[in-house]
Amino acid sequence: MKRIVTATVINQSGVLNRITGLMTKRQFNIESITVGHTETEGVSKMTFVVNVDGDGKIEQLIKQLNKQIDVLKVSDITDQAIVVRELALIKVISNAQIRSEISGIIEPFRASIIDVSRESITVQVTGDSEKIEAIIDLLRPYGIKEMVRTGITAFPRGSQKSVTDIKQYSILN
Amino acid sequence: MRAKAKPEAEAVTAEMTGAEVLIHSLKKENVEVLFGYPGGAVLPIYDALYRSPIKHILSKHEQGSIHAAEGYARVSGKPGVVIATSGPGATNLVTGITDAMMDSLPLVIFTGQVASTVIGTDAFQEADIMGITAPITKHNYQVRDVQDLPRIIKEAFHIATTGRPGPVLVDIPKDVANKTISPDYDSTIHLPGYQPTFSPNILQIKKLADAVGQAKKPVILAGAGILHANAGKELLTFTEKHKIPVVNTLLGLGSYPGQHPLFLGMGGMHGTYTANMALYECDLLISIGARFDDRLTGNLAHFAKNAVVAHIDVDPAEIGKNVPTQIPIVSDAREALRKLVDVDSETPDTEDWRNQLTENSKNYPLWKKTNTDEFLPQQVVELVHEYTKGDAIITTDVGQHQMWAAQYYAFTDANRWVTSGGLGTMGFGFPAAVGAQLAFPDQTVVALTGDGGFQMTLQELSTLQELNLPVKVVIMNNHTLGMVRQWQEAFYEERYSHSLLPVQPDFVKLGEAYGIKSYKVETQEEARVVFEEAFSHRDPVLIDCRVSGKENVYPMIAPGKGLHQMIGVKP
């Protein structure tokens, strides 16, 4: 199953190496990983998407991450109400004739064209992974020359639905 | 900036180099002995050491240094401190660091590094020791700014010795060691991501106390966590109060008196029948400071399958890792046991259970060949026990001799048993004995090794000679890599691929070459004469015990089998 895990870490050299290293060592499959600064100076946040076999495995991952000295907080936010975003840049083969056609396709996705050349245009799209997949599917018939995706970043929404069944893993029993 | 207005003495903190700061910080941490080996990148540190009263033990190979530090840490409970140079010096430590990580031994390791300006250029003797040791240390640091050095050293010792102990490495570039500063020793530890739990949740303790009251077949699995937490006395009180039998893990030996009526012996692959059947049949398993290693549990499908499992461990990540746990308790072992003794709880009626276990012990004791003229390896351990009155510090490598030592030495006290458990490192025992002897100069320390493992680190004989350390090296020489040979016999149709060692050095001449009294014994009678002499004085001794080469360690749980499927339970 796919889980979204966030880790708040001290922005120290080697911390990314330690974390990806432990994932490799314990055979966790990282689907995507993003890292960036937070509102606090010297503190970064990582968002992982991992594929795990069961609850025991994700519990073990969270505990192992928590054991790292430079890790401040780890949460599995998959089952919470969350905001999830990913950014993709897609370079599509297109000439002047079909440019407006593509424009029409991407418009409902609130994507934008950020670069135009004679043979191609580059589309920038933000959203959750399903939305990105959907736009890629629509653009593929035109010929995708190049594509990059950032992987998702996420955090919990300001207010949580009270009925949400949140799995809790605490290190304090 | 530093000069600003601290009055009097403190204001004029002397200028020091990074290397001097390091030595000064070690003194502040009460470090009495360093295990190390010099080299280019640590020249400034060794220069500072030249003027320091701290004792430095020069090994003959960095692996010798780090295993000695492990032995020192294991028996003393104090952190073992190691210094090695950059590149090969540092990489030679890797086996020992991993060993310490697996067996939770507190080490603080200082490695030299090439100058900051050339890091990353594949400079002479450069190795990415931060990358190499990230997965095998509890934490590691590279000192970029010499002003951070006092704080980093404080943090390193704090991390190594608290929570679940482990190795911490500090990498110091040569220019950082050379740089002169006015050190600030007052800088405090700042580790917001490291707050190990020490005291148990009282609700969980009550839950466990209730489970104890209801149990009919309770058993305690006591691991090295008892020793790290110095909780032997509390364990004894708790078990005697509720009459709960105790099984030790390999590394937990000595945490419970070996002759106690509630003691069932060691569990696991070569544990006693009684211990393993107790783990198999129990209805309440209380694991304290043990981590359910596969060599202990056998096939997990059969492990304590009818039991409520309670797990007390200072490392939350160990709880539920291998065995589903109904009562998790994150705590220091001693704190948890104290609370368990104090809390109101019923004492279970375990008489039938204990009678059943006693019956097992009577019917299925450890056995070895009788009516034979051969000199058996088990007899070597029994003789060592006899001549040391069961009170020596015993160190071993891994393999047959290790299992026989675990089975036959009957440890009664804590911190007498130094073995490589998790990693199973050949060549560990002898240098570890050097460290243990330095921690306790008046104790008898016996390095029980095999002929294979001894040859991996025998260069440390030179260290014995130099320091005249009274370590007794007892080689259980069966001319084979015994455990490998045993498995080839059992599982590979006796194809002894590269496990027989018919050609060997003359160990007596070898010992004598290092100026150490050395003997060869081929029978029990000869051994008695030599042991009598060897254990009567305070000089180093090497004894080459030529034992039968065909002995196997029994009983045994074959790989993939459950605890109840032991073989070789009876002769």
ipTM here: 0.90
**What percent of chain B clears pLDDT 90, i.e. is strictly above it?**
95
pLDDT 10s digits, B105-124: 999 999 999 999 999 999 99
Q: Between chains, do A173 and B317 touch, taking CB under 8 Å as contact?
A: no
CATH code for the domain in which residue A132 is found: 3.30.70.1150
Average pLDDT, chain B: 96
Give B461: exposed, middle or buried? Use CB within 10 Å, 0-12, 13-18, 19+: buried
**B13 confidence band (pLDDT: 50, 70, 90):** low
Task: Decide if B465 is inside a domain.
Answer: yes
Tell me whether residue B524 is in a domain. Answer: yes
Q: Closest approach of chain A CAs to the CA of B206, in angstroms?
A: 13
Integer Cα distance of B458 and B510 in angstroms: 9
- Mark whether A68 and A124 lie in a shared domain: no
Residue A162, domain member (yes or no): no
Average pLDDT over every residue of B365-387: 95
Whether B21 and B153 map to the same domain: the answer is yes
Give the whole-angstrom CA distance, residue A158 versus residue B232.
50
**B208 and B329 share one domain:** yes
Q: Which domain does B519 fall in, by range?
A: 377-546
Per-residue pLDDT tens digits for B123-147: 999 999 999 999 999 999 999 999 9
**CATH number of domain containing B318:** 3.40.50.1220
Same domain? For B462 and B318 the reply is no
Do residues A24 and A68 share a domain? Answer: yes
- Res. B467: pLDDT tops 90: yes
Instruction: With cut-offs at 50, 70 and 90, classify the pLDDT of residue A13.
Output: confident
pLDDT at B8 over 50: no
Residue positions of B annotated with a catalytic role: 62, 124-125, 174, 483
Using N-to-C axis directions, what is the helix angle for B18-28 and B149-161, rounded to 10°?
A: 40
Does residue A67 sit in the same domain as residue A88?
Answer: no
* A24 Cβ contact partners less than 8 Å away, ≥ 6 residues apart: none
Q: What band does B2 get if pLDDT is binned at 50, 70 and 90?
A: very low
> How many folded domains does chain A comprise?
2
Q: Are residues A88 and A149 in the same domain?
A: yes
pLDDT of residue A168: 54
Question: Does B439 share its domain with B297?
Answer: no
Chain B: closest CA distance from residue A51 (Å): 18
Residue B395, classified by CB atoms within 10 Å of its CB into exposed (0-12), middle (13-18) or buried (19+), is: buried
The answer to whether residues B390 and B478 belong to one domain is yes
Asked if residue A10 is part of any domain, the answer here is yes
Instruction: State the residue range of the domain holding A142.
Output: 83-154
Tokens of B368: 């070895």
Whether B12 has a pLDDT exceeding 90, the answer reads: no
Q: Choose among B426, B244, B515: nearest CA to B353.
A: B244
Give the 3-state secondary structure of residue B443: coil
Please tell me whether residues B14 and B84 are part of one structural domain.
yes
In a shared domain, residues B157 and B209:
no
Report if residue B269 sits inside a domain: yes
In this structure, are residues A105 and A144 in contact, taking their beta carbons and an 8 Å threshold? Answer: no
Report chain A residues whose CB lies below 8 A from the CB of B131.
Answer: 14, 17
Whether A92 and A142 share a structural domain: yes
| Chain A with chain B: Cβ pairs closer than 8 A | 56
Domain membership of residue A166 (yes or no) is no
| Cβ within 8 Å, pair B193-A71 | yes
Query: Best mutation site among B129, B137, B139 for testing chain A: the one with the most A CBs within 10 Å?
Result: B139
The DSSP code for B475 is: E
Chain B interface includes A26 (CB < 8 A)? no
What is B314-378 written as a DSSP string? Answer: S-GGGTTTSS--SEEEES-HHHHHHHHHHS--PPP--HHHHHHHHHHHHHS------S--S--HH
Specify whether B209 is located in the same domain as B347.
Answer: yes
The predicted model gives B446-471 an average pLDDT of: 97
Q: Which tops the pLDDT comparison, B337 or B3?
A: B337
Same domain assignment for residues B261 and B391 = no
In this structure, are B61 and B119 located in the same domain? Answer: yes
| Pairing state between β B167-173 and B139-142 | parallel
Measured distance CA(B522)–CA(A65) in Å, rounded: 54
- The pLDDT, as a whole number, for residue B249 is 98
Question: Residue B148 pLDDT > 50, yes or no?
Answer: yes
Neighbours of A3 (CB within 10 A): 21
CATH classification of the domain holding B95: 3.40.50.970
Q: What pLDDT does residue A163 have?
A: 53
Residues of A in contact with B321 (CB under 8 A): 60
Per residue in A124-162, pLDDT (tens digit) is 999 999 999 999 999 999 999 999 999 999 999 998 876
Q: How confident is the model at residue A118 (pLDDT cuts 50, 70, 90)?
A: very high
In a domain, A171, yes or no: no
Bridge partners (DSSP) of residue A2 are A51
* Co-location of B350 and B384 in the same domain: no
| Measured distance CA(B326)–CA(B270) in Å, rounded | 27
Q: Give this prediction's pTM.
A: 0.94
Confidence at residue A161, expressed as pLDDT on a 0 to 100 scale: 72
Q: Is residue B308 part of a domain?
A: yes
In this prediction, residue B10 carries a pLDDT of 42
In a domain, residue B128? The reply is yes
pLDDT at B112: 98
Question: Do B158 and B240 sit in the same domain of this protein?
Answer: no
Question: What's the rounded Cα separation, in Å, for the pair B285 and B264?
Answer: 14
Give the pLDDT confidence score for residue A169 in this predicted structure: 54
In a domain, A173, yes or no: no
Residue A163 lies in a domain: no
* Secondary structure in 3-state letters for B49-83: HHCCCCEEEECCCHHHHHHHHHHHHHHHCCCEEEE
Establish if B567 belongs to a structural domain.
Answer: no
> Tell me: the pLDDT tens digits for B407-456?
999 999 999 999 999 999 999 999 999 999 999 999 999 999 999 999 99
Answer whether residue B191 is part of any domain: no
Name the closest residue on chain A to residue B325, using Cα atoms: A56
Residues A59 and A88 occupy one common structural domain: no
